[in-house]
Amino acid sequence: MTRLGFLGPEGTFSHEALLATGVAGTSVALPSVHEVVLAVQDGRVERSLAPIENAIEGAVNATLDALAFDAPDVAVVGEVVHPVHHCLVAAAPLELDAITEVHSHPQGLAQCARFLRERLPGARVVAATSTAEAVRSAAGSAAAIGPRAAADRYGAALLAAGIEDDPGNVTRFVWLSRDPAPDGVPTRTSVLFHGAGDASPGWLVRCLSEFAFRGVNLTRIESRPLRSRLGHYLFHVDCAGGAGEAPVAGAVEALRQHCEVVRVLGTFAAAGATMPSGHEGPDTT
Where along the chain do its domains lie?
A: 1-84+165-179, 87-161, 181-277
- Ramachandran region, residue 275 (left: φ > 0; alpha: ψ -120 to 50; beta: rest): beta
Give, in order, the Cα–Cα distances in Å from 229 to each of 110, 179, 198, 233.
28, 33, 12, 9
> What is the C-alpha to C-alpha distance for residues 37 and 68, in angstroms, rounded to an integer?
11
CA 57 to chain centroid:
11
pLDDT computed for residue 273 by the predictor: 56
Q: What pairing do the DSSP bridges indicate for beta strands 124-127 and 87-90?
A: unpaired
> What is the C-alpha to C-alpha distance for residues 267 and 216, in angstroms, rounded to an integer?
14
Closest CA to 87 of 132, 56, 50, 125: 132
pLDDT computed for residue 119 by the predictor: 97
pLDDT computed for residue 112 by the predictor: 97
Q: Which CATH number fits domain 1-84+165-179: 1.10.10.10, 3.30.428.10, 3.40.50.10190, 3.40.190.10?
A: 3.40.190.10
CATH classification (class only), 181-277: alpha beta
**87-161 and 1-84+165-179 share a CATH fold:** yes
Q: Which residues of the chain have pLDDT under 50?
A: 274-285
pLDDT computed for residue 277 by the predictor: 37
Q: Which CATH number fits domain 87-161: 3.30.360.10, 3.40.190.10, 3.10.20.30, 3.10.129.10?
A: 3.40.190.10
CB-count exposure of residue 191 (10 Å: 0-12, 13-18, 19+): buried
Say if CB 111 and CB 169 are below 8 A apart: yes
